[in-house]
């Protein structure tokens, strides 16, 4: 199984964000990717740098104006606010009417939904190469590989069409899925990160060619809130093509696997010809953002069941934070998927 990663993804280095009104250390650290990279090397995976596919595949999914805002946003913020200020939005437009302002502080609020995506000097390169990693992975699968893994960091599944959200700048999984539609008529995207794939739902909600399924706790009481309810099933061409499968907080590994089976059955019913997996290891019982209880053997079983779909598959890394079992969970899933698709 081919693996793609670029060291420039380590450049995004947020120190803290605000959660429940308090400043706290940022969970999405470069060390996450370093732990996964080192595990992959130790397990004999060859890691390849992605090629540069440019901005067009990103702009095929995201508002081009949002994409164009990001490259120099940090430099403009520092010029305005000084080097010691945190580049997060402190003003927001509320209901999405109005026009994008020209002032950097107003623009941060226009394009960024929360405090979890502070811009740092290396954020643009990290987000850009994270997306390129996903594109290269999709391209590899489209060219005939049974499976490939994108070690994407920062993650992507909370990023919406025109804004960052929840540690995410570009929606890598949707970018990969869009890229696969150039080869396959029907693509499925299943999100097994513990948090709602709210950005993916936003992007795909009216599409009929990409089926979307997300497993997550009820967004009425668990972040990222707002999107991911059971009655959100798609609109227009996408009617019936979105499936949100809700877990109870504290759900067991067996509960998670039972819902995964429902998602897999729906993917089969859709007639998917290729698969994208938003792969989060934050379903782990000991993850810092834990809400359910999956263990290394559970991640291995998830891999076996997804591999049994026998579809060309792009695995796109999402969450999974600095808990003690991160490397073990990733090893269990990825080595099992490699063996099942060899």
For 39-56, write each residue's pLDDT tens digit: 999 999 999 999 999 999
Q: Give residue 110's pLDDT.
A: 76
Per-residue pLDDT tens over the stretch 184-199 = 999 999 999 999 999 9
Percent of the chain with pLDDT over 90: 87
Percent of the chain with pLDDT over 70: 98
CA–CA separation, 281 vs 334, rounded Å? 11
CA–CA separation, 32 vs 151, rounded Å? 10
| Structural domains of the chain ordered from first start | 2-62+121-341 (3.40.800.20)
Per-residue pLDDT tens over the stretch 227-243 = 899 999 999 999 999 99
Q: Which of 32-36, 76-80, 99-103, 307-311 has the lowest mean pLDDT?
A: 99-103
CA–CA separation, 82 vs 76, rounded Å? 10
What does the block give as tokens for 187?
């693509």
Per-residue pLDDT tens over the stretch 267-321 = 999 999 999 999 999 999 999 999 999 999 999 999 999 999 999 999 999 999 9
**Catalytic residue list:** 158
What does the block give as tokens for 192?
């097994």
Whether the predicted pLDDT of 116 surpasses 90? yes
Reported confidence tier of residue 100, pLDDT bands at 50, 70, 90? confident
Per-residue pLDDT tens over the stretch 57-79 = 999 999 999 999 999 999 999 99
Helix (H, G, I), strand (E, B) or coil at 140: helix
Q: Give residue 94's pLDDT.
A: 62
Alpha carbon distances (Å) from 257 to 142, 194, 297: 28, 13, 11
Average pLDDT value for residue range 94-100: 63
Alpha carbon distances (Å) from 2 to 151, 222, 274, 313, 323: 11, 34, 16, 11, 26
Q: Give residue 223's pLDDT.
A: 87
Whether the predicted pLDDT of 138 surpasses 90? yes
Average pLDDT value for residue range 89-113: 73
């Amino acid at each position: 199984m081919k693996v793609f990663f670029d060291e420039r993804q380590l450049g995004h280095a947020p120190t803290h964000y605000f959660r429940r009104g308090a400043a706290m250390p940022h969970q999405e650290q470069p060390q996450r990717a370093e732990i996964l990279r080192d595990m992959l090397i130790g397990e004999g995976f060859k890691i390849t740098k992605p090629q540069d596919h440019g901005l067009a595949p990103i702009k095929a999914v995201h508002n081009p104006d949002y994409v164009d805002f990001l490259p120099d946003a940090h430099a403009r913020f520092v010029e305005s606010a000084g080097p010691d200020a945190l580049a997060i939005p402190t003003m927001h437009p509320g209901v999405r009417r109005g026009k994008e302002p020209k002032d950097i502080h107003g623009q941060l609020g226009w394009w960024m939904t929360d405090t979890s995506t502070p811009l740092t000097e290396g954020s643009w390169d990290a987000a850009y190469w994270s997306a390129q990693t996903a594109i290269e992975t999709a391209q590899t699968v489209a060219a005939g590989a049974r499976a490939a893994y994108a070690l994407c960091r920062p993650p992507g599944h909370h990023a919406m069409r025109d804004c960052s959200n929840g540690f995410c700048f570009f929606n890598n999984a949707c970018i990969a899925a869009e890229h696969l539609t150039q080869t396959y008529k029907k693509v499925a995207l299943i999100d097994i990160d513990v948090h709602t794939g709210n950005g993916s739902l936003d992007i795909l909600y009216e599409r009929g060619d990409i089926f979307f399924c997300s497993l997550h706790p009820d967004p009425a009481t668990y972040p990222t809130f707002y999107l991911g309810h059971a009655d959100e099933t798609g609109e227009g061409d996408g009617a019936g093509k979105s499936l949100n499968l809700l877990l109870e907080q504290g759900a067991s590994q067996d509960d998670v696997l039972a819902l995964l089976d429902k998602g897999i059955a729906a993917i089969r019913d859709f007639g998917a010809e290729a698969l994208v997996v938003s792969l989060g290891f934050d379903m782990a019982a000991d993850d810092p953002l834990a809400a359910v209880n999956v263990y290394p053997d559970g991640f291995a079983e998830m891999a076996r069941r997804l591999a049994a779909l026998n579809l060309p598959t792009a695995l796109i890394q999402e969450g999974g934070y600095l808990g003690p079992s991160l490397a073990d969970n990733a090893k269990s899933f990825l080595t099992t998927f490699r063996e099942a698709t060899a």
